[in-house]
Amino acid sequence: GCAFDASIARHMVSDVPVSAFLSGGIDSSIISLLASQIDSNLKTFTIGLRSGDGNDDLYFAKKVSDQLHVENNQLVVDSISVDELIRILEYFDEPFADSATLFSALLAKFVSSSSKVALSGDGADEIFFGYPVYDNLANGCHNSHNSSYLISTALGIVSPRAYDYSR
């Protein structure tokens, strides 16, 4: 195993079940894959907007969870109340401009009703060239047509986002 495998294994050590955030992106897909190999009863959790266009995390996470044969619990957000927004913003001690944090906070609250420990790959898409904007950089660094596809294939999973941005 590689250091990445060992890191996930260390983070899976707990006296309570460990779950995982799953967006369907390359980072959370790899983490969910490795965690599911340690715990076949892994529960994953996803948050998404009720946009109806199918172009959000709910669609991609469902594809990955089906491939991994793990449970995927989905929180569909229609809106956020002002009170909930203020509650989340009170945790920041300075101006903060990452709107994804709101969804992470809502997802964490959703997860906490059934799991006390959750793995997250937040920020790893950048490491694994997990966004289309990185394709040219990945091509130059690795002489490949899609580094995230190659990385995920090497680990035994193809995240839908690694190759299919348009569906």
- The whole-number pLDDT of residue 43 equals 97
Residue type, 154: A
Q: What is the mean pLDDT of the chain?
A: 79
- H helix or E strand, kind and range, residue 153: helix 147-154
Q: What is the 3-state secondary structure (H, E, C) of 24-87?
A: CCHHHHHHHHHHHHHCCCCEEEEEEECCCCCCCHHHHHHHHHHHHCCEEEEEEECCCCHHHHHH
pLDDT of residue 154 exceeding 70, the answer is no
Question: Rounded to 5, what percent of the chain is helix, strand, coil?
Answer: 50, 15, 40
Q: How confident is the model at residue 126 (pLDDT cuts 50, 70, 90)?
A: low
Are 26 and 57 spatial neighbours (Cβ–Cβ below 8 Å)?
A: no
Residue scoring higher pLDDT (124 or 67): 67
Are 152 and 159 spatial neighbours (Cβ–Cβ below 8 Å)?
A: yes
Alpha-carbon span 3 to 71, nearest angstrom: 26
Residue scoring higher pLDDT (146 or 8): 8
- The whole-number pLDDT of residue 144 equals 44
Q: How confident is the model at residue 26 (pLDDT cuts 50, 70, 90)?
A: confident
Alpha-carbon span 33 to 40, nearest angstrom: 10
Q: pTM of the full predicted structure?
A: 0.77
Alpha-carbon span 163 to 167, nearest angstrom: 9
Question: 87-102 pLDDT, tens per residue?
Answer: 888 887 777 777 778 8
- The whole-number pLDDT of residue 20 equals 97
Q: How confident is the model at residue 137 (pLDDT cuts 50, 70, 90)?
A: low
Compute the average pLDDT of residues 16-36: 91
Q: How confident is the model at residue 145 (pLDDT cuts 50, 70, 90)?
A: very low
CA-based diameter of the chain, in Å? 49
What are 22's two structure tokens?
A: 């799953």
Alpha-carbon span 37 to 22, nearest angstrom: 15
Compute the average pLDDT of residues 119-134: 70
- H helix or E strand, kind and range, residue 20: strand 18-21
* Helices (H) then strands (E): counts for the chain: 8, 4
